[in-house]
Amino acid sequence: MLTGYNGQISLGHGAFYAIGAYTTAIMIDRWGVPYGWTIPVAGLVCLLAGFLFGIPALRLEGLYLALATFALALATPQILKHFDGWTGGSQGIVLSKPSPPAGLPLSPDRWLYFLSLGLLLLLFLLGWNLLRGRTGRALVAIRDNPIAAEAMGVNAAAYTGIAGALGALAIAFVAPDTFNVFLSITFLVGIVVGGLASIAGAVFGALFIQFVPNWAQAISKAAPWAIYGVFLIGFMYVMPRGIAGALRLLGRRLARATESRPG
């Protein structure tokens, strides 16, 4: 939302993802909080973190904002290691995968899949309604206003925090080095490939960064990232506006072809 709808570049999503993941891990491991409560709390913690980071960042835009968020992504793993009494330091925190509610004949992995899918649909609808409603139109209309930028950034931080909480539950392990700056760059790749200024594009981008590296690994175990890079360059050459943009263009062409068809 911050990049696509407000025109600002952020490389700090990995930091908020880490905050969400560690919020869930610490609450479960240290305090024994049921995992269901930790997910919304992770979103709220990242909402607050995004707001606090947004206060000094209001003076920044463009490449300067990108540099500030890049610094945040670089610093986050080191900060997590420093507070090793809470975070487990370099050893991280090991979790147990949550069991499904009583009566559901599902394995923990399958339950997490359906839980993540349900939250994805919920957040998709919330984001869609926000950006298509009066508030979203106002934010897009004043995209150069710093208040609009902060509002979009805070919303994006909350979404990322919930994703981090789900990631911690799915992997059942968190460690500082997992949340390096490469994670933020990967998220940015997903945003661009999926399509800027599109909620659906975020879903397409997530599928891309999840599956394409695995395919590249299957093609060449010796140089998977070279394969991935070639595929990414070719993909952006064919679809410069991302997957969502290509689908919109295809839809318009089909609509024009249908309208011009006689009878």
Query: Cα(165)–Cα(170) distance, rounded to whole angstroms?
Result: 9
Which pLDDT does position 16 carry in this prediction?
A: 95
Instruction: Give whole-number Cα distances, 15 to 47, 73, 127, 253, in Å.
Output: 12, 5, 21, 40
CB-based contacts of 196: which residues, under 8 Å, 6+ apart? Answer: 3, 4, 241, 242, 245
96 lies in some domain: yes
CB-based contacts of 219: which residues, under 8 Å, 6+ apart? Answer: 227
Query: Cα(141)–Cα(221) distance, rounded to whole angstroms?
Result: 47
**pTM listed for this prediction:** 0.88
Which pLDDT does position 128 carry in this prediction?
A: 80
206 lies in some domain: no
Say if CB 22 and CB 87 are below 8 A apart. yes
The more confidently predicted of residues 173 and 259 is 173
Q: Which two tokens stand for residue 94?
A: 């090991």
188 lies in some domain: no
Which pLDDT does position 91 carry in this prediction?
A: 94
Read off the pLDDT of each residue in 113-130 and give the average, rounded to a whole number. 89
Which pLDDT does position 229 carry in this prediction?
A: 92
Greatest Cα pair distance in the chain: 74
Quick check: 139 pLDDT over 80? no
Model confidence band, residue 113 (pLDDT cutoffs 50, 70, 90):
very high
Quick check: 146 pLDDT over 60? no
Q: What percent of the chain has a predicted confidence (pLDDT) above 90?
A: 54
Q: Which domain holds residue 136?
A: 2-179
Read off the pLDDT of each residue in 29-47 and give the average, rounded to a whole number. 96
Read off the pLDDT of each residue in 136-149 and give the average, rounded to a whole number. 57
Q: Which two tokens stand for residue 219?
A: 């093609």
Quick check: 112 pLDDT over 80? yes
Say if CB 158 and CB 39 are below 8 A apart. no
Quick check: 147 pLDDT over 70? no
Query: Cα(18)–Cα(80) distance, rounded to whole angstroms?
Result: 9
The more confidently predicted of residues 241 and 92 is 92
Read off the pLDDT of each residue in 83-100 and give the average, rounded to a whole number. 94
Weakest mean pLDDT among 47-51, 132-136, 154-158: 132-136
Model confidence band, residue 262 (pLDDT cutoffs 50, 70, 90):
low
Read off the pLDDT of each residue in 26-35 and give the average, rounded to a whole number. 95
88 lies in some domain: yes
Read off the pLDDT of each residue in 220-225 and give the average, rounded to a whole number. 88
Read off the pLDDT of each residue in 21-39 and give the average, rounded to a whole number. 96
Instruction: Give whole-number Cα distances, 58 to 51, 54, 63, 145, 152, in Å.
Output: 10, 6, 13, 9, 12
E strand residue ranges, 74-223: 93-94, 173-174
79 lies in some domain: yes
What total of structural domains would you count in the chain?
1
